[in-house]
Amino acid sequence: MQRSFTILYTSLLGMCLGSSLSFPSNINIGGLFPTESHEYEVFRFALSHHQDIPKLVPQVDMVKLGNSFSMTYAFCSQFSKGVYAIIGLYDRKTVNMLMSFCGALHVCFVTPSFPIETANQFVIQLRPELQDALVGVIDHYGWIKFVYMYSSDSGLSVLQKVLDTAAERNWLVTSVNVETMTEASFLKVFQDLDKRKEGQIIIDCETERLTGILKKIVEQGKNAKSYHYILANLGFLDIDLTDLRKGGANITGFQLVNNSEPTVSHVVQQWMEFDIKDSKMPKSGLKYTGALTYDGVKVMSTAFQNLRRQRIDISRRGNAGECLANPPAPWGQGIDIQRALQQVRIDGLTGHIQFNEKGRRTNYTVGIMELAPSGPKKVGYWNEDEKYVTTGSFMRGSNDTYGLQNRTYIVTTILESPYVMLKKSHEQLVGNDKYEGYIVELAAEIAKHVGYQYKLKIVSDGKYGAKDPDSNMWNGMVGELVYGKADVAVAPLTITLVREEVIDFSKPFMSLGISIMIKKPTKSKPGVFSFLDPLAYEIWMCIVFAYIGVSVVLFLVSRFSPYEWHAEDSEEGGEPQTPTQASASNGVQGQTPVQQNTNQQSLEQTNEFGIFNSLWFSLGAFMQQGCDISPRSLSGRIVGGVWWFFTLIIISSYTANLAAFLTVERMVSPIESAEDLAKQTEITYGTLDAGSTKEFFRRSKIAVFEKMWSYMKAADPSVFVKTTDEGVIRVRKSKGKYAYLLESTMNEYIEQRKPCDTMKVGGNLDSKGYGIATPKGSHLRNPVNLAVLKLNEQGLLDKLKNKWWYDKGECGSGGGDSKDKTSALSLSNVAGVFYILIGGLGLAMLVALVEFCYKSRTESRRMKQSINDAMHCSTLTRMSGNGSGGENGRILTHDFPKTVQTLPCMSHTASMGLGASGM
């Protein structure tokens, strides 16, 4: 009896131990993940946290999503290895294949992928369904018209739910598939919204595709306050919304992971500290799909622990069979594992985890998030029982905003002298200290008045900002504001209508207009006869003719007037008799009639105003030097008087202009206005490409500017330049054949810089201003605007302009060389006068020599001497100083005896004297 009891006890104990020992201590679980995926790294991290008995042993295959063959091979490989369950991802192309295998082979598939409508109970869906929460949010905002942008990659279950609800409630929904949407159709969607003044959009995509769409939205400038986006994605905090926030758009989304929970934050911290070996991907934060993967491992671990406690035999003996067998051979213990997984009730990173009989999440809570100016904020939550519940909100545009002192703003600008320039030692400097200029100081003053920290950033493409007519994309600084790459633009940015439509401007901090820059004409070098320039050549010719005419008239009136004639002793060439001598001679008594007749014949009537003396008189009067003869008759004096008056006016006018022409270097500009440019084609002209000046000409309806735009647009090679510096260099190298159209302020600055060879011509073509730009709806607009007004009232803006334009100028005050410059006379100014003097002296010497030779030849013939003796005798006579000098070059001879006068030399001297007197 005792022996029987012992045997029975031993048998029962063996059965118990056998049952306990039949449950495996290591559970092989399969994994299907894309290579280097975030979910695979979190899977490894989760396994390191769940080392309880039974221990989960991974059998992972790397697959390519979208490749059904790769997925089938990996699934069959894992099934043949005898895994108890599989965790992994699927997509639209492989989901049906996986459902079929799991249902046929009774293999459980735990997945964090998007939920699907299926009756397959072996698929455990970790991700909650979003359609009911989305409908609750739409109801909360009261939307009745909106655009639904979706991706078929994540299924159409949410779209179907929204469309069904729209049919019940008369919503007007425009659905757009982002996979088939081109760039043009994307733009058309927003253009239609703008026309209807609507901006309510729902985007239902996976995170990767959603990020690309949001980037497009920012690039198109559709992140303004007038738009409201609902992101149908459970990872609101996983998305980079910085660029969207800068535009002020309203963004609402869903957040599955509650990072404020201590247990969640602890796991996230451990994840960041987890060392991922052999990983080539950079470490990132824990995304919501990674959190679902972590919870999936926890669900599987909990389920197998429950099975072990329940002592359910799930061991797989030998080969599990072929997954492609026909008919399929399902695994008998698969139902037990499926039930264990569905019965799990735990709290994980994604909240409460519970499944219904179809393997879908139930009794879950989703947080509702909004993008506040200071960052994402939770404004409510949604669950199956309470539906949408509001927990908090913020007032857009209020001072809940950024906390100016706690953020560094990006200030975009452009390298343009004198606005922003690199310091000479910029390589040794960092940050804002590398730059100097008008804008640099202005940005510092505005930041000081508004009270924020900032960082200067040079615009990447070096452009101010214009809209491409083909792609409708903004470039330059305007583009950086529109697409959220910068917070403020402090630069010489012109306020225009097209820019004001996409960004906000402050009050102008500088007024200006479009002006014309040309190369400074070469100064005219003074010519040898520049002293003739004060009077035109026509006047000089008239003066010559007047001089000859006056001389001839004076000669004629002197011939006709009896008062110009007087008696003169013709014998011996004697001097003319004075009136006293004439009366005395007439009163000589005792002369016979024959003697009187002889005396009268010896007195001849002479006239001093021969043609040469008339010319000499006119020349002396014109030169204001006078002459030893003057008219005696009334007619002659009238001629002399009008000639003197004429010379007085001419000489005075000449003298008045002579100083200016000799001391002022003048420049003649080939053009003086825009009309001059439009009328000609020899001088080309252009503007900055992608700037407001180009837009001005393109949009102008004024005939002159339209003509100029037509020329510039059709010019080959192109007359447009990429930078202002390039335009200035082109002006300087064009030798006066290129004019550059730019803002007057920049024109004035360049005119003050060396080599001082450019100049501004004409007036401004328009009137506009530079303003500080901010994105549409930016909270910085009002503070910046007030700061500009305050700086203007304090006079700081004028002070800054004087400092960087004129105080630091290199060409002197007032433009220096840009205006006429008075200087001391140089030899080149008056060289012609010296040439005339030298020429006159040389001519006088030549004429004197000719006269001497001619007279010597005449005397040699008369005295019957050789010409050498005659010249020698004449030279001795003149060099010995014999004879007395008389007035006007006359030689007065003494009363020598006639016998003495017969001497050859003396006779020659007398004859020369008489000849000179006769002249």
pLDDT in tens, 258-314: 888 888 888 988 888 887 666 666 667 889 999 999 999 999 999 988 888 887 877
Q: What is the DSSP letter of 216?
A: H
Q: What is the DSSP string of 349-403?
A: TTEEE-B-TTS-B-S-EEEEEEEETTEEEEEEEEETTTEEEE-----TTSTTS--
Task: Give 599's pLDDT tier (boundaries 50, 70, 90).
Answer: low
Query: Residue 624: is its pLDDT beyond 90?
Result: no
pLDDT at position 297 is 92
Peptide bond into 576 cis (omega under 30): no
Query: Residue 414: is its pLDDT beyond 90?
Result: yes
Task: Give 398's pLDDT tier (boundaries 50, 70, 90).
Answer: very low
- Average pLDDT of the segment spanning 402-409: 58
**Tokens 């700061």 -> residue:** 787
B/e letters for 590-625, b = 16+ CB within 10 Å, e = fewer, are eeeeeeeeeeeeebeeeebbeeebbbbbbeebbeee
| Measured distance CA(916)–CA(919) in Å, rounded | 5
Which tens digit of pLDDT belongs to each residue from 888-915? 444 444 444 443 344 444 343 333 333 3
pLDDT at position 160 is 86
Query: Residue 10: is its pLDDT beyond 80?
Result: no
Bridge partners (DSSP) listed for residue 355: 361
- Please report the sign of the dihedral spanned by the C-alpha atoms of residue 872, residue 876, residue 878, residue 879: positive
Q: How many CA atoms lie within 13 A of 891 on its CB side?
A: 15
The fraction of the chain above a pLDDT of 70, given in percent, is 81
Which tens digit of pLDDT belongs to each residue from 840-890? 778 878 887 888 888 888 888 887 777 777 777 777 666 555 444 444 444
Q: 621: which residues sit within 8 A by CB, 6+ positions away?
A: 627, 640, 643, 644, 647
Task: Give 820's pLDDT tier (boundaries 50, 70, 90).
Answer: very low
| Measured distance CA(426)–CA(411) in Å, rounded | 19
Query: Residue 829: is its pLDDT beyond 90?
Result: no
| Measured distance CA(229)–CA(252) in Å, rounded | 6
Tell me the helices (H) and strands (E) count for the chain, helix number first.
Answer: 31, 34
Which tens digit of pLDDT belongs to each residue from 78-119? 888 888 899 999 888 888 888 888 888 888 999 999 888 888
Q: Count other C-beta atoms under 10 Å from residue 821's C-beta.
A: 14
Q: In the numeric block, which tokens belong to residue 669?
A: 């500009």
Choose the weakest-confidence range: 220-224, 314-318, 419-423, 514-518: 314-318
- Average pLDDT of the segment spanning 356-380: 88
Query: Residue 800: is its pLDDT beyond 50?
Result: yes
pLDDT at position 882 is 47
Give the chain's mean pLDDT: 79
| Measured distance CA(416)–CA(422) in Å, rounded | 10
Q: Count other C-beta atoms under 10 Å from residue 411's C-beta.
A: 23
Q: Which amino acid is at 727?
A: G
More confident residue, 579 or 495: 495
Element (H, E) at 543: helix 537-560
Ramachandran bin of 430, using left for φ above 0, alpha for ψ from -120 to 50, beta for the remaining angles: beta
Which tens digit of pLDDT belongs to each residue from 692-725? 788 889 888 889 999 999 999 888 888 999 888 8
Choose the weakest-confidence range: 356-370, 428-442, 867-881: 867-881
Choose the weakest-confidence range: 279-288, 650-659, 732-741: 279-288
| Measured distance CA(557)–CA(631) in Å, rounded | 10
Q: 184: which residues sit within 8 A by CB, 6+ positions away?
A: none
Q: 154: which residues sit within 8 A by CB, 6+ positions away?
A: 92, 114, 204, 205, 206
| Measured distance CA(177)–CA(186) in Å, rounded | 10
What Cα–Cα distance (Å) separates residue 163 from each residue in 160, 166, 176, 835? 5, 5, 13, 103
Cβ–Cβ under 8 Å, residues 387 and 136: yes
Look up the pTM and report it: 0.49
